[in-house]
Amino acid sequence: MNRAGLTRWLTEPVPRGRIAAFRTVVYLFVAADLVVFTPWVRPHGDLSGDLYQPLLVGRILPLPVPSKPLVEIVFWALLAMSLAAASGRAPRLLGWPVFALYLEWMIIAMSYGKVDHDRFAFLVALAVLPTAGRARHGDPTPTDRGGWALRVTQIAVVATYFLAAWAKLRYGGPGWLTGSVLARAILRRGTDFADLVAPIPGVLIAAQFGIVTFELLSPLVFVLKGRPRYLAVAFYYAFHWMTIAMITISFAPHQVALLSFLPLERVRPVAWVRRRLSRVPARGGPRAPAEAGTQAAWP
Protein backbone atom coordinates (compact mmCIF):
# COMPACT_ATOMS: atom_id res chain seq x y z
CA MET A 1 0.00 0.00 0.00
CA ASN A 2 1.47 3.35 -1.06
CA ARG A 3 1.19 6.58 0.90
CA ALA A 4 -1.96 7.73 -0.87
CA GLY A 5 -3.61 4.36 -0.34
CA LEU A 6 -2.70 4.41 3.35
CA THR A 7 -4.17 7.89 3.72
CA ARG A 8 -7.41 6.80 2.03
CA TRP A 9 -7.61 3.77 4.33
CA LEU A 10 -6.97 5.81 7.47
CA THR A 11 -9.54 8.44 6.54
CA GLU A 12 -12.19 6.22 4.96
CA PRO A 13 -15.41 8.26 5.35
CA VAL A 14 -18.15 7.13 7.71
CA PRO A 15 -21.61 8.63 8.28
CA ARG A 16 -21.70 11.44 10.81
CA GLY A 17 -24.51 9.57 12.51
CA ARG A 18 -22.04 6.79 13.36
CA ILE A 19 -19.75 9.29 15.06
CA ALA A 20 -22.65 10.78 17.01
CA ALA A 21 -23.77 7.36 18.24
CA PHE A 22 -20.25 6.22 19.12
CA ARG A 23 -19.56 9.48 20.93
CA THR A 24 -22.72 9.17 23.02
CA VAL A 25 -21.92 5.58 24.04
CA VAL A 26 -18.30 6.38 24.89
CA TYR A 27 -19.09 9.39 27.08
CA LEU A 28 -21.97 7.65 28.83
CA PHE A 29 -19.60 4.79 29.61
CA VAL A 30 -17.15 7.23 31.21
CA ALA A 31 -19.89 8.24 33.65
CA ALA A 32 -20.84 4.61 34.26
CA ASP A 33 -17.21 3.66 34.73
CA LEU A 34 -16.81 6.16 37.55
CA VAL A 35 -19.74 4.87 39.58
CA VAL A 36 -19.98 1.20 38.54
CA PHE A 37 -16.65 -0.21 37.33
CA THR A 38 -13.96 1.91 39.05
CA PRO A 39 -15.45 3.41 42.24
CA TRP A 40 -12.50 1.77 44.01
CA VAL A 41 -10.27 4.55 42.66
CA ARG A 42 -11.75 7.22 44.95
CA PRO A 43 -10.23 5.73 48.16
CA HIS A 44 -6.77 6.15 46.61
CA GLY A 45 -6.98 9.75 47.76
CA ASP A 46 -6.83 8.50 51.36
CA LEU A 47 -3.66 6.47 50.84
CA SER A 48 -0.18 7.53 51.86
CA GLY A 49 1.78 9.28 49.14
CA ASP A 50 4.61 6.80 49.69
CA LEU A 51 2.48 4.12 48.03
CA TYR A 52 2.08 6.14 44.84
CA GLN A 53 4.31 4.80 42.06
CA PRO A 54 3.18 6.75 38.99
CA LEU A 55 3.11 5.24 35.54
CA LEU A 56 5.62 6.57 33.02
CA VAL A 57 3.18 9.21 31.73
CA GLY A 58 2.63 10.36 35.30
CA ARG A 59 6.38 10.83 35.74
CA ILE A 60 6.86 12.63 32.43
CA LEU A 61 4.13 15.26 32.83
CA PRO A 62 4.61 15.27 35.98
CA LEU A 63 1.34 14.96 37.87
CA PRO A 64 0.72 15.64 41.57
CA VAL A 65 0.52 12.89 44.14
CA PRO A 66 -3.17 11.97 44.54
CA SER A 67 -4.87 13.52 47.56
CA LYS A 68 -8.46 13.40 48.75
CA PRO A 69 -9.36 16.84 47.29
CA LEU A 70 -7.65 16.07 43.97
CA VAL A 71 -9.42 12.73 43.51
CA GLU A 72 -12.80 14.22 44.42
CA ILE A 73 -12.33 17.13 42.00
CA VAL A 74 -11.38 14.76 39.17
CA PHE A 75 -14.33 12.48 39.96
CA TRP A 76 -17.05 15.13 40.01
CA ALA A 77 -15.65 17.21 37.14
CA LEU A 78 -15.29 14.12 34.96
CA LEU A 79 -18.78 12.89 35.82
CA ALA A 80 -20.39 16.23 34.94
CA MET A 81 -18.38 16.79 31.75
CA SER A 82 -18.84 13.27 30.41
CA LEU A 83 -22.61 13.49 30.78
CA ALA A 84 -22.59 16.86 29.04
CA ALA A 85 -20.32 15.54 26.26
CA ALA A 86 -22.69 12.60 25.65
CA SER A 87 -25.19 15.11 24.24
CA GLY A 88 -22.82 15.78 21.35
CA ARG A 89 -22.65 19.50 22.10
CA ALA A 90 -19.30 21.32 21.96
CA PRO A 91 -17.29 18.21 20.98
CA ARG A 92 -13.91 19.91 21.40
CA LEU A 93 -14.71 22.13 24.38
CA LEU A 94 -15.99 19.13 26.34
CA GLY A 95 -14.12 16.30 24.64
CA TRP A 96 -10.58 17.41 25.43
CA PRO A 97 -11.21 17.95 29.18
CA VAL A 98 -12.96 14.57 29.39
CA PHE A 99 -9.93 12.88 27.86
CA ALA A 100 -7.49 14.72 30.15
CA LEU A 101 -9.53 14.01 33.29
CA TYR A 102 -10.08 10.36 32.41
CA LEU A 103 -6.36 9.94 31.72
CA GLU A 104 -5.64 11.36 35.18
CA TRP A 105 -8.32 9.04 36.64
CA MET A 106 -6.57 6.05 35.06
CA ILE A 107 -3.14 7.19 36.28
CA ILE A 108 -4.53 7.45 39.81
CA ALA A 109 -6.11 4.02 39.38
CA MET A 110 -3.10 2.20 37.96
CA SER A 111 -0.22 3.73 39.95
CA TYR A 112 -0.57 1.47 42.97
CA GLY A 113 0.58 -1.83 41.47
CA LYS A 114 -2.34 -2.81 39.23
CA VAL A 115 -2.29 -1.98 35.52
CA ASP A 116 -5.13 -3.10 33.23
CA HIS A 117 -4.67 -3.23 29.47
CA ASP A 118 -8.39 -3.12 28.71
CA ARG A 119 -8.30 0.71 28.88
CA PHE A 120 -5.87 1.37 26.02
CA ALA A 121 -8.29 1.43 23.07
CA PHE A 122 -10.89 3.31 25.12
CA LEU A 123 -8.35 6.01 25.99
CA VAL A 124 -7.44 6.29 22.32
CA ALA A 125 -11.12 6.74 21.48
CA LEU A 126 -11.39 9.56 24.02
CA ALA A 127 -8.27 11.18 22.55
CA VAL A 128 -9.49 11.20 18.94
CA LEU A 129 -13.22 11.85 19.32
CA PRO A 130 -12.74 15.62 19.84
CA THR A 131 -11.12 15.76 16.38
CA ALA A 132 -14.15 14.23 14.65
CA GLY A 133 -16.13 17.47 14.63
CA ARG A 134 -19.85 17.96 15.05
CA ALA A 135 -22.20 15.09 14.28
CA ARG A 136 -25.94 14.52 14.57
CA HIS A 137 -27.64 11.22 15.20
CA GLY A 138 -28.99 9.79 11.96
CA ASP A 139 -26.97 12.12 9.72
CA PRO A 140 -25.82 10.10 6.66
CA THR A 141 -23.30 12.74 5.52
CA PRO A 142 -19.84 11.13 5.18
CA THR A 143 -16.96 12.55 7.18
CA ASP A 144 -13.24 11.93 6.66
CA ARG A 145 -12.33 13.24 10.11
CA GLY A 146 -14.83 10.92 11.71
CA GLY A 147 -13.48 8.04 9.65
CA TRP A 148 -9.97 8.76 10.92
CA ALA A 149 -11.16 8.83 14.54
CA LEU A 150 -12.85 5.45 14.20
CA ARG A 151 -9.95 3.91 12.27
CA VAL A 152 -7.42 4.93 14.92
CA THR A 153 -9.69 3.45 17.59
CA GLN A 154 -9.96 0.22 15.59
CA ILE A 155 -6.18 0.02 15.29
CA ALA A 156 -5.90 0.42 19.07
CA VAL A 157 -8.45 -2.36 19.58
CA VAL A 158 -6.53 -4.76 17.36
CA ALA A 159 -3.19 -3.71 18.87
CA THR A 160 -4.54 -4.63 22.31
CA TYR A 161 -5.16 -8.20 21.13
CA PHE A 162 -1.99 -8.61 19.08
CA LEU A 163 0.35 -7.14 21.69
CA ALA A 164 -1.29 -9.24 24.40
CA ALA A 165 -0.29 -12.36 22.45
CA TRP A 166 3.20 -10.95 21.92
CA ALA A 167 3.55 -10.36 25.67
CA LYS A 168 2.38 -13.88 26.48
CA LEU A 169 4.94 -15.44 24.16
CA ARG A 170 7.70 -12.97 25.07
CA TYR A 171 7.48 -13.40 28.83
CA GLY A 172 5.83 -16.82 29.13
CA GLY A 173 7.35 -18.46 26.10
CA PRO A 174 5.81 -21.58 24.56
CA GLY A 175 5.13 -22.75 28.10
CA TRP A 176 2.28 -20.24 28.32
CA LEU A 177 0.39 -22.35 25.80
CA THR A 178 0.77 -25.61 27.66
CA GLY A 179 0.93 -24.32 31.23
CA SER A 180 -1.70 -23.81 33.92
CA VAL A 181 -2.52 -20.15 33.31
CA LEU A 182 -6.27 -20.63 32.96
CA ALA A 183 -6.34 -23.24 35.70
CA ARG A 184 -4.82 -20.78 38.17
CA ALA A 185 -7.23 -18.05 37.05
CA ILE A 186 -10.18 -20.37 37.64
CA LEU A 187 -8.87 -21.29 41.09
CA ARG A 188 -8.63 -17.59 41.99
CA ARG A 189 -11.86 -16.26 40.52
CA GLY A 190 -13.64 -19.04 38.65
CA THR A 191 -17.42 -19.24 38.40
CA ASP A 192 -19.76 -22.22 38.68
CA PHE A 193 -19.71 -22.40 34.88
CA ALA A 194 -15.90 -22.58 34.90
CA ASP A 195 -16.06 -25.39 37.46
CA LEU A 196 -18.16 -27.38 34.98
CA VAL A 197 -15.84 -26.76 32.02
CA ALA A 198 -12.41 -27.03 33.68
CA PRO A 199 -12.52 -30.80 34.47
CA ILE A 200 -12.97 -31.68 30.78
CA PRO A 201 -9.60 -33.17 29.70
CA GLY A 202 -7.54 -30.85 27.52
CA VAL A 203 -10.11 -28.07 27.29
CA LEU A 204 -8.04 -25.45 29.14
CA ILE A 205 -4.88 -26.16 27.12
CA ALA A 206 -6.93 -25.97 23.91
CA ALA A 207 -8.39 -22.67 25.12
CA GLN A 208 -4.91 -21.25 25.72
CA PHE A 209 -3.82 -22.19 22.19
CA GLY A 210 -7.07 -20.70 20.88
CA ILE A 211 -6.61 -17.42 22.75
CA VAL A 212 -3.10 -16.82 21.41
CA THR A 213 -4.10 -17.84 17.88
CA PHE A 214 -7.09 -15.51 17.94
CA GLU A 215 -5.00 -12.61 19.24
CA LEU A 216 -2.25 -13.10 16.67
CA LEU A 217 -4.77 -13.28 13.83
CA SER A 218 -6.83 -10.30 15.02
CA PRO A 219 -5.33 -7.86 12.42
CA LEU A 220 -7.07 -9.89 9.70
CA VAL A 221 -10.29 -8.10 10.65
CA PHE A 222 -9.08 -5.20 8.51
CA VAL A 223 -9.16 -7.26 5.32
CA LEU A 224 -12.76 -8.31 5.94
CA LYS A 225 -15.72 -6.34 4.67
CA GLY A 226 -19.40 -6.24 5.45
CA ARG A 227 -20.95 -9.29 7.04
CA PRO A 228 -17.68 -11.23 7.51
CA ARG A 229 -16.24 -8.30 9.47
CA TYR A 230 -19.33 -8.09 11.67
CA LEU A 231 -19.08 -11.82 12.32
CA ALA A 232 -15.45 -11.38 13.35
CA VAL A 233 -16.45 -8.59 15.75
CA ALA A 234 -19.22 -10.81 17.10
CA PHE A 235 -16.55 -13.45 17.77
CA TYR A 236 -14.53 -10.85 19.69
CA TYR A 237 -17.56 -10.09 21.84
CA ALA A 238 -18.26 -13.79 22.35
CA PHE A 239 -14.68 -14.21 23.56
CA HIS A 240 -15.12 -11.49 26.17
CA TRP A 241 -18.52 -12.77 27.28
CA MET A 242 -17.02 -16.23 27.75
CA THR A 243 -14.24 -14.65 29.81
CA ILE A 244 -16.84 -12.97 32.00
CA ALA A 245 -18.77 -16.22 32.35
CA MET A 246 -15.70 -18.18 33.41
CA ILE A 247 -13.40 -15.85 35.36
CA THR A 248 -15.46 -12.62 35.73
CA ILE A 249 -13.05 -10.40 33.79
CA SER A 250 -15.20 -8.04 31.74
CA PHE A 251 -12.93 -5.85 29.55
CA ALA A 252 -15.90 -3.45 29.52
CA PRO A 253 -14.06 -0.34 28.20
CA HIS A 254 -12.43 -2.40 25.47
CA GLN A 255 -15.83 -3.72 24.43
CA VAL A 256 -17.06 -0.14 24.12
CA ALA A 257 -14.12 0.66 21.84
CA LEU A 258 -15.01 -2.43 19.77
CA LEU A 259 -18.21 -0.63 18.74
CA SER A 260 -16.04 1.45 16.39
CA PHE A 261 -16.30 -1.46 13.93
CA LEU A 262 -20.11 -1.45 13.84
CA PRO A 263 -22.68 0.65 11.90
CA LEU A 264 -24.02 2.35 15.01
CA GLU A 265 -25.92 4.93 12.95
CA ARG A 266 -28.57 2.26 12.36
CA VAL A 267 -29.34 2.04 16.08
CA ARG A 268 -31.43 5.06 17.04
CA PRO A 269 -33.30 4.47 20.28
CA VAL A 270 -34.63 8.04 20.52
CA ALA A 271 -36.11 7.85 17.02
CA TRP A 272 -37.59 4.45 17.86
CA VAL A 273 -39.26 5.82 21.00
CA ARG A 274 -40.65 8.78 19.07
CA ARG A 275 -42.12 6.52 16.40
CA ARG A 276 -43.67 4.34 19.08
CA LEU A 277 -45.18 7.35 20.82
CA SER A 278 -46.52 8.70 17.53
CA ARG A 279 -48.59 5.51 17.19
CA VAL A 280 -50.15 5.84 20.66
CA PRO A 281 -53.73 7.14 20.17
CA ALA A 282 -54.92 10.12 22.14
CA ARG A 283 -57.49 9.32 24.83
CA GLY A 284 -60.80 8.82 23.12
CA GLY A 285 -59.34 9.47 19.69
CA PRO A 286 -58.31 7.29 16.73
CA ARG A 287 -54.88 5.71 16.53
CA ALA A 288 -52.42 7.91 14.65
CA PRO A 289 -51.25 6.24 11.40
CA ALA A 290 -47.58 5.36 11.15
CA GLU A 291 -45.72 7.13 8.39
CA ALA A 292 -43.81 4.65 6.31
CA GLY A 293 -40.13 5.36 5.85
CA THR A 294 -39.96 8.37 8.17
CA GLN A 295 -37.22 8.72 10.71
CA ALA A 296 -37.16 11.25 13.48
CA ALA A 297 -34.06 13.40 13.74
CA TRP A 298 -32.35 13.81 17.06
CA PRO A 299 -30.50 17.12 17.27
What are 108-128's pLDDT values in tens digits? 999 998 888 899 999 999 999
CA separation (Å) from 286 to 155, 280, 282, 293?
Answer: 53, 9, 7, 21
Please report whether residue 281 resides in a domain. no
Residue 43 has pLDDT above 70, yes or no: yes
Question: What is the Cα 166 distance to its own chain's centre?
Answer: 21
Q: Which amino acid is at 200?
A: I
Mean pLDDT over 48-76 rounds to 92
Mean pLDDT over 92-119 rounds to 94
Mean pLDDT over 151-168 rounds to 97
**pTM beyond 0.85, yes or no:** yes
Please report whether residue 290 resides in a domain. no
Residue 277's pLDDT is 76
Mean pLDDT over 225-246 rounds to 95
Please report whether residue 234 resides in a domain. yes
What is the extent of the structural domain holding 67?
14-264
| Residue in 188, 183, 190 with CA at minimum distance from that of residue 246 | 190
Higher pLDDT: 72 or 59? It is 72
* 84 φψ region: left (φ > 0), alpha (ψ -120 to 50), beta (else): alpha
Please report whether residue 258 resides in a domain. yes
In DSSP terms, 137 is beta-bridged to 298
Mean pLDDT over 254-267 rounds to 95
Please report whether residue 294 resides in a domain. no
Our count of domains for the chain comes to 1
Residue 61's pLDDT is 87
Q: Which amino acid is at 257?
A: A
Residue 284's pLDDT is 55
Residue 52 has pLDDT above 80, yes or no: yes
Q: Which amino acid is at 32?
A: A
**Per-residue pLDDT band at 291 (split at 50, 70, 90):** very low
Please report whether residue 245 resides in a domain. yes
Higher pLDDT: 59 or 130? It is 130
Please report whether residue 272 resides in a domain. no
Residue 3's pLDDT is 84
**Per-residue pLDDT band at 268 (split at 50, 70, 90):** confident
Mean pLDDT over 12-24 rounds to 96
**Per-residue pLDDT band at 296 (split at 50, 70, 90):** very low
Please report whether residue 85 resides in a domain. yes
Mean pLDDT over 218-224 rounds to 96
Q: Give per-residue burial for 243-261: e unless 16+ CB within 10 Å, then b.
A: eeebbeeebbbbbbbbbbb
The residues, any chain, with a CB within 8 Å of residue 44's CB and separated by 6 or more, are 66, 71, 108, 109, 112
- Rounded Cα–Cα distance for residues 130 and 77 (Å): 18
User: Where do runs of H (alpha helix) occur along 131-225?
Assistant: 144-167, 175-178, 181-189, 192-197, 203-217
DSSP helix/strand/coil, 137: strand
**Per-residue pLDDT band at 163 (split at 50, 70, 90):** very high
DSSP states along 38-61: -GGGGGGGGS-GGG----HHHHHT
